[in-house]
């Protein structure tokens, strides 16, 4: 099976809705210019909640092939959950993806693997594709325990999901020490963990699920390093933070094969 590479821009808490429109428009123009094949490399933007309606209007209005999603989602359907956003609110806005368990949510909002797994399940039930994040802190890497640490996260996050559900999901391996630091993992570092994750999914489920699931690397991905990272056999895409906020730079990342 050949997996379609997926390049996703996680904007984090950046860009208001006007800036969002500008960025999506610039990105779309750039990609038209270079005749980007969206079937060959999938392009996803993940704006803040407040920008999603604007992004939807633009993408649907201009019939763009860029997909989009949200940075988090609630495990509840509706009701007294101040500040939360439900899966049905996201699907109504045409979202395809939702990032769950980003390290910043784990760190600042105390999200656990168990909660992240429930968010992923909720997303899948609604027809959204979860981008499930995992990754180790610097101390764990220095202790040489990064593979076992990440695999324990995987075991816990996937506990409530079937092989079919995992097969259509995306997993993002993002070593925390490489996020927003300019410190990028080497392509070999990325491959080591992404390969181990795929191996674990084969053990937990079967080869079919392992071959189908797409695994991204994230952490200081830029146009200058994306090619070597994407050349690794178990890396199927990138989750890009800072570099996704600039249309020209993100265009180069998305078109890494050129
Ligand atoms: P970065 O962020 O590309 O700015 O390092 C990646 C992420 O946190 O998804």
Which ligand 1 atom sits nearest the alpha carbon of residue 220? 5
Which pLDDT does position 42 carry in this prediction? Answer: 98
Contacts of 93 (CB under 8 A, 6+ apart): 52, 53, 56
pTM reported for the whole predicted model: 0.98
Dmax (CA) for the chain in angstroms is 51
What count of other Cβ atoms lies within 10 Å of the Cβ of residue 227? Answer: 14
174 is catalytic: yes
111 is catalytic: no
DSSP track, 92-114: HTT--EEEE--HHHHHHH---HH
Residue of the CA atom closest to atom 9 of ligand 1: 241
Which pLDDT does position 2 carry in this prediction? Answer: 87
Which ligand 1 atom sits nearest the alpha carbon of residue 219? 5
Instruction: Please state the φ and ψ torsions of residue 173, each to the nearest 5 degrees.
Output: -90, 115
Which pLDDT does position 1 carry in this prediction? Answer: 57
Which ligand 1 atom sits nearest the alpha carbon of residue 103? 8
Contact predicate 84/58, CB 8 Å: no
SS3 of 172, please? strand
Pocket of ligand 1 (CB under 6 A): 10, 174, 179-180, 218-221, 239-243
SS3 of 231, please? coil
Residue of the CA atom closest to atom 7 of ligand 1: 241
Nearest alpha carbon to residue 97 among 116, 71, 125 = 71
For the chain, 258 residues long, the average pLDDT of each consecutive 10-residue run is: 93 98 98 97 98 98 98 98 98 98 98 98 98 97 97 98 98 96 92 98 98 97 97 98 98 95
Which pLDDT does position 207 carry in this prediction? Answer: 98
Candidate of 101, 170, 175, 180 to mutate for ligand 1, largest count of ligand atoms within 8 Å of Cβ: 180
Instruction: Please state the φ and ψ torsions of residue 219, each to the nearest 5 degrees.
Output: 135, 100
């Amino acid at each position: 099976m050949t997996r379609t590479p997926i390049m996703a821009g996680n904007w984090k808490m950046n860009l208001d809705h006007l800036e969002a429109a500008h960025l999506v428009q610039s990105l779309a123009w750039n990609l038209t210019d270079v005749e980007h094949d969206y079937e060959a490399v999938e392009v996803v933007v993940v704006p803040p909640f407040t920008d999603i309606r604007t992004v939807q209007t633009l993408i649907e209005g201009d019939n763009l092939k860029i997909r989009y999603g949200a940075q988090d989602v609630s495990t509840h359907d509706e009701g007294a959950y101040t500040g939360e956003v439900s899966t049905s609110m996201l699907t109504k806005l045409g979202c395809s993806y939702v990032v769950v368990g980003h390290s910043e949510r784990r760190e600042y909002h105390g999200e656990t693997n168990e909660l992240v797994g429930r968010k992923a399940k909720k997303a899948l039930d609604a027809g959204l594709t979860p981008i499930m994040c995992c990754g180790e802190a610097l101390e764990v890497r220095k202790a040489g325990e990064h593979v076992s640490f990440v695999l324990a996260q995987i075991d816990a996050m996937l506990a409530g999901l079937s092989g079919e559900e995992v097969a259509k999901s995306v997993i993002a391996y993002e070593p925390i020490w490489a996020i927003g630091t300019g410190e990028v993992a080497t392509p070999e570092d990325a491959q080591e963990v992404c390969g181990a994750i795929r191996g674990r999914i084969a053990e937990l489920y079967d080869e079919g699920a392992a071959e189908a699931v797409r695994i991204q690397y994230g952490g200081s991905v830029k146009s200058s390093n994306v090619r070597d990272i994407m050349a690794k056999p178990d890396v199927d895409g990138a989750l890009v933070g800072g570099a996704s906020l600039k249309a020209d730079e993100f265009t180069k990342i998305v078109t890494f094969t050129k």
